[in-house]
């Protein structure tokens, strides 16, 4: 990540004057723009883009007319192209306008900057922010540009920021101003600051910064070095800090965030790719047809030129003539390549995207966010997803922790207890839960009341949380915790009347049942990932010294003393919590004698002043006192899942989609979430990969694959793979990746934990490279952006503060559960609709042009057209344009309800045989061989044939339409009626204006001839009879799942099966509980900075903070 962008600025640095105008240098404005075009670049850029598409180039070429070579009217081909380009341009403008609007929304956000003259902060818009401005940012706000932190509301210029938008880490990060500026806590002082900042030039490295603040002080100039600790990046958010002052150093597109934004890659869908392949295929057909006709023409010219003496052939040489003929035929058959298809597809996809946006089922009322489909060209991919790569935090979970249950002294309590789970005595043993009301009761009356008291005291004392009182409502305390788990515990305790109120450097105050007690904090042994626990040594109000300790069950259980009556029950409860996917912590304590503490504290003191290996020394010291603990119980915190996540995952799995969770969390937490959202369940065999090196990883994976392959019954024992970030790093190396992927694809679920944003993208790319599957990535933070961009379809969770992911995603939804409808209904429909649309477009053009091809045999391969040129043009743009669009927008092969009930139907899209099967029908279907028409003239016959072709093609549309809405009626019979009316009017009027003169006189003859009507009736019946029979036979005797479900839908047949299935599942689950694997997550997610203890000692919440 640290590959700095070495932009060759003159000096390699920029000088930013503080509180002085920075006009001498041209700094970039803070306006961002992600649009593709502007007013001036639109035309050249657009045309360039369009004509770099082969199809358009081809049509431009056929549109350019060479006299004598072109068989058709010169304007007809160009006309279509112009219509197509106009439609595309319209769509491009519309999409770009949307981008422009979302940009300007960001650009117009408000922030406060220091007006030096007024010595006060004044509101202005983000796009007005300049380099050198001093900005005031308040809690919860985003930084409008890259800033250097000057001061904050917190002691010593500290502030917390959340960088999940930048790197996806949800824990808060600490930034600190330099000592020299930390005292600038009001606008007056700040506006007197003078000097300049010598800064590095803009680059894309998020984690490095070099600068120098040169400020005027009493004793002359003072140089203060600046480093990343002072850097506040655009995209990050200020948290738990009421305000900060910062000086703007990089703006707009020069910010590190924007420098990191890679151009959104253009994604092409697999259907589009297939269309391209088919267009090439059609082009080959076209060439073959042209070649065949040209050869025919040459043969005629050589063998029968005498017979054709009434048509003197031009005396050019045979080869030139041959080449010219090929050209002629290419132009003649050019519409075999469906020019309208591309634009029809665009229109339809655009409309489908609108329908996604308008879906009420995907509208989240709480945040007022509907779904938003940004890249409409990808809609049909939604119907073919085989793998989903999901982020965890913010996507599956709400990132909200809740203290749900606890086990104290072997008795289980829960905040809400369902009737069925209430505590009762079974076989002399108490099972079930008490509720928290009972807990309060028990403190006073139960024999274990004492234990409960200690338990809750521990929760309110042993932590690193900082309490904050709201200014307008001092009774209300907000707990600022860098670890959400701890916050949840403290908050939980406070709800049980153990309210943590005040933190001072050496003590904390806790109000227990209304009585304020002060506890002296003697020592804090911090949490880190090797210790997996934290402990606090406190002196209570009664003067006794107590060690409070909380941590992962494994580490606590090792350190228990001999007299521990509650271990058995607590373990049992832990097991239950784990099954439910709760995050657990064991709570233990020990009374420490004065003497012991005195001895220990010297050891600890010494350790904390060591310069080498201080962390190890501290750990060792802590180890000495954390022993002989007494287990009080355990807590269970729910990492709250978003609504409907387990159901959604279950349904998606039923639909045959494999789900991989990629998370930055630690392994235990990840497994926990996996369990709670039903991604993995008790039946599954977990394969956990934690290896230290390349070779170990390789060996392990190979061994596993071997044993997995050897299993007798792979269906009944699904696998789940859990791999951590480091091992993943090895597994993604070239040599092993194949093996890794092989194992991973054998698993029903894959969880990758502790992965970096880059690794997320690498995993996605790996799967993309090796499998032909369509991948979807879903996430909410900027750390998911690489993954979202790498996948075929990127979905962003919108509605929360961070919009980074949503903005770079192809589709944004506000809740994970909407994925179900998005994929199973919209995706499936889109795919079906587009498949039909594409095949139908091919069909209709092939049908029309095959008649033209056969005709070549009968006109001496001269390239004569049967149909009048303009009429051919109208074929694609008027008479057959509606059925594909209506099919594309309104057709529903099965209703939304059915798709929801039978997720298995989704697999239709994954196997793309559907398309092949239909195509095979279509290709056989062109056989509209010329039949009759000897009496009438050329154009009479041509028009009749055209009508018959149209009737056939529209009849085909009617046959393949599954759902007839009023628009379908307009499109299918409507198109035909439109043609009949049109040709009468057009054929009578147009020749008078010297357009389509071929029609002169044809119409009265045509429409008075009974043969005409009989002809156009029987031709479609003959052509479609086979289709009709085929369709019927397929439904009756070779029925596929969707046939049956269509019938269920049509006749409203009740189906109890899905419910039966669930019942069976439930039974299976009960049976499987015994096989439960022990993998409990414990609830710590805080920083391992090693300075938490120091930080909390800085706070004294009894003092009032500067107002800023």
Partner 1 sequence: MAPETKSREPANTAFKQQRLKAWQPILTPKTVLPTFFIVGVIFAPLGGLLLWASNSVTELAIDYTYCDSREFISATFPQVSSSQPDIKWSREVVATEEFKYTNSGVWRCHLQFRVPSELKPPLFIYYRLTNFYQNHRSYVKSFNANQLKGVAVPADQLKTSCGPMAVNNDNPPKIIYPCGLIANSIFNDTISNLTFQQNADGIPTNNETYILLSKDISWPSDRQKYGLTSYELNQIVPPPDWANAYPNGTYTADAPPPDLSTNELFQVWMRTAGLPDFRKLYSRNDTTALQAGLYDVSIDYRFPVTRYGGTKAFVLSTVSFLGGKNSFLGLAYIAVGIACVVLGAIFTARHLYKPRKLGDHTYLSWNNTQGHTNGN
Site for partner 1 in 345-404 (CB under 8 A): 355, 357-360, 363, 365, 368-370
Site string for partner 1, 321-340 (x = CB under 8 A): -------x------------
User: Is position 245 an interface residue for partner 1 (rule: CB under 8 A)?
Assistant: no
CB of 232 closer than 8 Å to CB of 143: yes
Provide the CA 937 distance to its chain's centre, in angstroms.
61
Could you give phi then psi for residue 519, rounded to 5 degrees?
-115, 130
* Pairing of β 719-724 and β 749-753: parallel
Instruction: Figure out which of the listed residues 1044, 1079, 1097, 1106 binds partner 1, where binding follows CB under 8 A.
Output: 1044
User: Is position 892 an interface residue for partner 1 (rule: CB under 8 A)?
Assistant: yes
In whole angstroms, how close is the CB of 961 to partner 1 at the nearest point?
8
For every residue of 736-760, DSSP letters joined together read HHHHHHHHHHHSSEEEEES--HHHH
* Count of positions on this chain that bind partner 1 (CB under 8 A): 92
User: Is position 312 an interface residue for partner 1 (rule: CB under 8 A)?
Assistant: yes
Residue 1065 per-residue DSSP state? H
The radius of gyration computed from the CA coordinates of the chain, to the nearest angstrom, equals 37
Nearest to 34 by CA among 350, 369, 258: 258
The interface with partner 1 within residues 1006-1035 (CB under 8 A) comprises 1009-1011, 1014-1015, 1018, 1021-1022, 1025, 1028-1029, 1031-1032, 1035
In whole angstroms, how close is the CB of 788 to partner 1 at the nearest point?
22
For every residue of 1018-1055, DSSP letters joined together read HHHHHHHHHHHHHHHHHHHHS--HHHHHHHHHHHT---
Q: Cite the DSSP H helix spans in 114-266.
A: 187-191, 256-260
Q: Is 663 within any annotated ligand binding site?
A: yes
Site string for partner 1, 967-996 (x = CB under 8 A): xx----------------------------
In whole angstroms, how close is the CB of 1048 to partner 1 at the nearest point?
4
In whole angstroms, how close is the CB of 929 to partner 1 at the nearest point?
12
Tell me which of 133, 146, 167, 391 is the catalytic residue: 391
User: Is position 309 an interface residue for partner 1 (rule: CB under 8 A)?
Assistant: yes
Site string for partner 1, 162-201 (x = CB under 8 A): ----------------------------------------
Identify which of residues 281 and 969 has a Cβ nearer to partner 1 in the complex: 969
CA distance 1003 to 994: 16
Instruction: End-to-end CA distance of the chain: give it in Å, rounded.
Output: 35
CA distance 147 to 137: 10
In whole angstroms, how close is the CB of 789 to partner 1 at the nearest point?
26
From the list 42-50, 420-428, 873-881, 1004-1012, the region that binds partner 1 by CB under 8 A is 1004-1012
Residue 827 per-residue DSSP state? I
Q: Mark whether 180 is an active-site residue.
A: no
Q: Is 833 within any annotated ligand binding site?
A: no
Angle at 98 between CA 768 and CA 94, to 5 degrees: 95
Two tokens at 883? 């059925």
- CB burial of 351-367 (b: ≥16 within 10 Å; e: otherwise) equals bbbebbbebeebbbeee
Q: Cite the DSSP H helix spans in 891-936.
A: 896-901, 907-910, 913-924
CB of 675 closer than 8 Å to CB of 581: yes
Which H or E run contains 44? helix 42-51
Site string for partner 1, 730-749 (x = CB under 8 A): --------------------
User: Is the backbone of residue 72 left (phi > 0), alpha (psi -120 to 50) or beta?
Assistant: beta
User: Is position 784 an interface residue for partner 1 (rule: CB under 8 A)?
Assistant: no
In whole angstroms, how close is the CB of 748 to partner 1 at the nearest point?
16
The interface with partner 1 within residues 915-974 (CB under 8 A) comprises 930-942, 961-968
Identify which of residues 360 and 611 has a Cβ nearer to partner 1 in the complex: 360
Identify which of residues 296 and 729 has a Cβ nearer to partner 1 in the complex: 296
In whole angstroms, how close is the CB of 230 to partner 1 at the nearest point?
33
Site string for partner 1, 601-640 (x = CB under 8 A): ----------------------------------------
In whole angstroms, how close is the CB of 1010 to partner 1 at the nearest point?
5
Q: Is 391 within any annotated ligand binding site?
A: yes
Q: Is 527 within any annotated ligand binding site?
A: yes
Q: Is 754 within any annotated ligand binding site?
A: yes
Identify which of residues 106 and 1022 has a Cβ nearer to partner 1 in the complex: 1022
Q: Is 605 within any annotated ligand binding site?
A: no
Instruction: Figure out which of the listed residues 183, 601, 685, 862 binds partner 1, where binding follows CB under 8 A.
Output: 862
In whole angstroms, how close is the CB of 314 to partner 1 at the nearest point?
8
CA distance 752 to 727: 10
Q: Determine whether 1089 is exposed, middle or buried from the number of CB atoms within 10 Å of its CB (0-12, 13-18, 19+).
A: middle
Identify which of residues 717 and 932 has a Cβ nearer to partner 1 in the complex: 932
User: Is position 1068 an interface residue for partner 1 (rule: CB under 8 A)?
Assistant: no
- CB burial of 408-438 (b: ≥16 within 10 Å; e: otherwise) equals bbbbbbbbebeeeeebeeeeeeeeebbebeb
- Please state the residue numbers annotated as binding site: 391-393, 486, 527, 550, 583, 663-665, 754, 760, 780, 783-784
- Please state the residue numbers annotated as binding site for ATP: 391-393, 486, 527, 550, 583, 663-665, 754, 760, 783-784
- Residues annotated as part of the active site: 391
- Please state the residue numbers annotated as binding site for Mg(2+): 391, 393, 780, 784
């Amino acid at each position: 990540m640290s590959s700095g962008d070495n932009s060759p600025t003159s000096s390699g640095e920029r000088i930013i004057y503080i509180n002085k105008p920075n006009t001498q240098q041209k700094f970039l404005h803070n306006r961002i723009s992600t649009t593709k075009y502007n007013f001036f670049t639109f035309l050249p850029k657009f045309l360039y883009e369009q004509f770099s598409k082969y199809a358009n180039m081809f049509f431009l070429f056929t549109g350019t007319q060479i006299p004598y070579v072109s068989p058709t009217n010169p304007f007809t081909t160009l006309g279509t192209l112009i219509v197509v380009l106009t439609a595309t341009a319209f769509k491009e403008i519309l999409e770009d306008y949307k981008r422009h609007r979302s940009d300007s929304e960001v650009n117009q956000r408000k922030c406060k900057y220091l007006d030096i003259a007024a010595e006060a902060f004044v509101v202005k818009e983000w796009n007005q922010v300049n380099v050198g401005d001093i900005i005031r940012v308040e809690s919860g706000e985003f930084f409008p540009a890259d800033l250097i932190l000057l001061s904050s509301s917190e002691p010593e210029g500290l502030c917390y920021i959340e960088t999940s938008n930048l790197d996806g880490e949800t824990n808060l990060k600490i930034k600190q101003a330099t000592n020299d500026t930390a005292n600038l806590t009001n606008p007056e002082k700040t506006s007197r600051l003078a000097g300049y900042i010598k800064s590095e030039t803009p680059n894309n490295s998020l984690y490095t910064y070099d600068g120098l603040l040169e400020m005027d002080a009493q004793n002359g100039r003072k140089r203060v070095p600046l480093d990343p600790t002072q850097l506040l990046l655009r995209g990050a958010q200020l948290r738990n800090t009421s305000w900060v002052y910062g000086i703007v150093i990089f703006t707009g597109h020069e910010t590190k965030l924007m420098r990191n934004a890679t151009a959104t890659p253009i994604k092409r869908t697999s259907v589009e790719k297939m269309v391209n392949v088919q267009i090439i295929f059609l082009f080959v057909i076209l060439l073959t047809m042209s070649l065949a006709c040209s050869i025919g023409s040459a043969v005629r010219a050589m063998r029968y030129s005498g017979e054709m003496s009434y048509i003197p052939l031009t005396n050019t040489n045979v080869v030139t003539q041959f080449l010219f003929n090929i050209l002629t035929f290419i132009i003649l058959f050019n519409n075999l390549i469906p020019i309208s298809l591309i634009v029809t597809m665009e229109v339809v996809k655009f409309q489908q995207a609108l329908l996604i946006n308008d879906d009420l089922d995907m509208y989240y009322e709480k945040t007022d966010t509907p779904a938003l489909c940004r890249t409409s060209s990808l809609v049909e991919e939604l119907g073919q997803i085989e793998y989903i790569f999901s982020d965890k935090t913010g996507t599956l979970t709400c990132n909200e922790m809740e203290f749900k249950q606890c086990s104290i002294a072997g008795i289980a309590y829960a905040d809400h207890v369902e009737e069925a789970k209430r505590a009762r005595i079974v076989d002399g043993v108490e099972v079930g839960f008490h509720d928290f009301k009972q807990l309060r009761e028990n403190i006073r009356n139960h024999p274990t009341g004492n234990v409960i008291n200690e338990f809750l005291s521990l929760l309110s004392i042993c932590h690193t949380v900082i309490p904050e009182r709201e200014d307008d409502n001092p009774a209300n305390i907000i707990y600022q915790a860098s670890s959400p788990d701890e916050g949840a515990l403290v908050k939980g305790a406070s709800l049980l009347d153990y309210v943590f109120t005040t933190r001072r450097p050496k003590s904390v105050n806790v109000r227990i049942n209304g009585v304020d007690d002060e506890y002296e904090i003697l020592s804090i042994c911090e949490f880190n990932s090797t210790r997996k626990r934290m402990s606090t040594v406190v002196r209570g109000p009664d003067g006794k010294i107590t060690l409070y300790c909380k941590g992962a069950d494994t580490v606590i259980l090792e350190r228990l003393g001999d007299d521990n009556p509650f271990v058995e029950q607590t373990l049992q409860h832990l097991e239950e919590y784990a099954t439910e996917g709760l995050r657990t912590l064991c709570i233990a304590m020990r009374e420490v004698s004065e003497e012991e503490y005195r001895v220990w504290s010297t050891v600890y003191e010494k350790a904390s002043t060591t310069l080498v290996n201080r962390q190890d020394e501290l750990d060792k010291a802590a180890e000495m006192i954390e022993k002989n603990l007494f287990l009080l119980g355990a807590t269970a915190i729910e990492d709250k899942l978003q609504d409907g996540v387990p159901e959604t995952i279950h349904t998606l799995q039923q639909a045959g989609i494999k789900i991989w969770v990629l998370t930055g969390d630690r392994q235990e937490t990840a497994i926990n979430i996996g369990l709670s959202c039903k991604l993995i369940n008790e039946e599954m065999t977990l394969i956990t990969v934690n290896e230290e090196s390349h070779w170990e990883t390789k060996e392990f994976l190979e061994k596993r694959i071997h044993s997995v392959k050897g299993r007798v019954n792979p269906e009944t024992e699904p696998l789940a793979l859990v791999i951590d970030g480091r091992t993943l790093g090895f597994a993604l190396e070239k040599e092993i990746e194949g093996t890794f992927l092989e194992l991973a694809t054998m698993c029903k679920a894959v969880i990758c934990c502790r992965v970096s944003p880059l690794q997320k993208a690498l995993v996605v790319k790996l799967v993309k490279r090796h499998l032909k599957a369509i991948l979807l990535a879903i996430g909410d933070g900027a750390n998911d952006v690489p993954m979202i961009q790498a996948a075929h379809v990127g979905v962003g969770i919108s509605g929360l503060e961070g919009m980074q992911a949503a903005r770079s995603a192809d589709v944004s939804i506000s809740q994970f559960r909407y994925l179900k409808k998005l994929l199973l209904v919209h995706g499936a429909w889109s795919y079906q609709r587009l498949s039909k649309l594409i095949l139908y477009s091919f069909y209709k053009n092939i049908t029309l042009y095959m008649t033209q091809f056969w005709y070549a045999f009968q006109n001496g391969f001269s390239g004569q057209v049967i149909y009048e040129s303009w009429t051919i043009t109208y074929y694609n743009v008027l008479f057959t344009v509606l059925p594909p669009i209506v099919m594309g927008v309104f057709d529903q092969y099965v209703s939304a309800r059915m798709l929801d009930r039978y997720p298995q139907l989704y697999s239709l899209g994954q196997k793309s045989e559907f398309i092949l099967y239909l195509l095979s029908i279509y290709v056989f279907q062109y056989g509209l061989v010329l039949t009759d028409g000897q009496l009438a003239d050329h154009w009479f016959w041509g028009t009749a044939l055209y009508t018959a072709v149209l009737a056939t093609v529209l009849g085909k549309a009617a046959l393949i339409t599954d759902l007839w809405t009023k628009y379908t009626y307009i499109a299918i019979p409507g198109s035909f009626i439109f043609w009949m009316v049109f040709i009468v009017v057009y054929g009578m009027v147009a020749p008078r204006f010297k357009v389509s003169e071929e029609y002169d006189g044809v119409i009265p003859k045509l429409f008075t001839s009974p043969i005409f009507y009989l002809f156009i009736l029987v031709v479609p019946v003959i052509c479609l009879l086979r289709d009709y029979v085929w369709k019927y036979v397929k439904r009756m005797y070779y029925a596929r799942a969707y046939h049956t479900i269509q019938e269920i839908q049509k006749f409203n047949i009740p189906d109890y099966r899905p419910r039966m299935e669930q019942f069976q599942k439930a039974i299976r689950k009960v049976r499987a509980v015994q096989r439960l694997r022990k993998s409990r997550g414990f609830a710590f997610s805080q920083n391992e900075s090693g300075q938490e203890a120091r930080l909390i000692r800085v706070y004294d919440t009894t003092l009032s903070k500067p107002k800023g």
